Amino acid sequence: MSNKYLWWSMLAVIAVLVMGVGCSRAMARGKTPIMSLFAFNYSPYYLADVRVDGQYLGGLDGYTNGGSGMGPRAPQGKGPDSVRVRWIEANRYDLATNRYLSEGHRVPREAVVPLKTPYPPNPSTLLLHFYPDGHVEAELLDKGVNKWNVRRMPVPKEHKDHDQY
């Protein structure tokens, strides 16, 4: 084998390696981290089957909150961006009896909710706020921010779980 052939072979291998590294870095750069979902419900209604851009969050108890779930990827850029939120407004929580009233109330709701800007540098949670008048607000929380510190309305004193919030 000639030196010329060996030299061109090594050059070709190096070129393929450089292209592979460049492509993998470019593909990794486009991905953003997946955020968690969480929501506060300030309304008296149980909110069932809450979904954000198709991602299932679960149900939210009246006046309190629900669990958390896996959310969408963090937005790229400076915004503005929005999410589509769907839920079913269900039975009303009665503060006088501290239980849900079985009224058969089930109303599908939907909202396109803008994300509050500016976005934090390292968003890790998409937090939703459901208000008594039916509107929804969304914000991104930076990594390390305690979601319990950004609740906007207190749990009513009459609620049986008031002391936990």
Q: What is the pLDDT of residues 20-63, one digit of tens each?
A: 665 555 555 556 788 999 999 999 999 999 999 999 999 999 99
Extents of the domains making up the chain: 1-31, 35-164
Q: How far apart, in Å, are the Cα atoms of 82 and each of 65, 70, 119, 121, 139?
A: 21, 17, 12, 17, 10
Q: Are 20 and 109 in contact (CB under 8 A)?
A: no
Q: Is residue 82 packed enough to be buried (19+ CB in 10 Å), middle (13-18) or exposed (0-12)?
A: middle
Q: How far apart, in Å, are the Cα atoms of 126 and each of 1, 117, 122, 147, 164?
A: 62, 13, 12, 10, 23
Residue pLDDT, tens place only, 76-95 = 877 789 999 999 999 999 99
CA 63 to CA 52: how far, in whole Å?
A: 20
Note the CATH number of domain 35-164: 2.60.40
The rounded mean pLDDT for the chain is 86
pLDDT computed for residue 1 by the predictor: 56
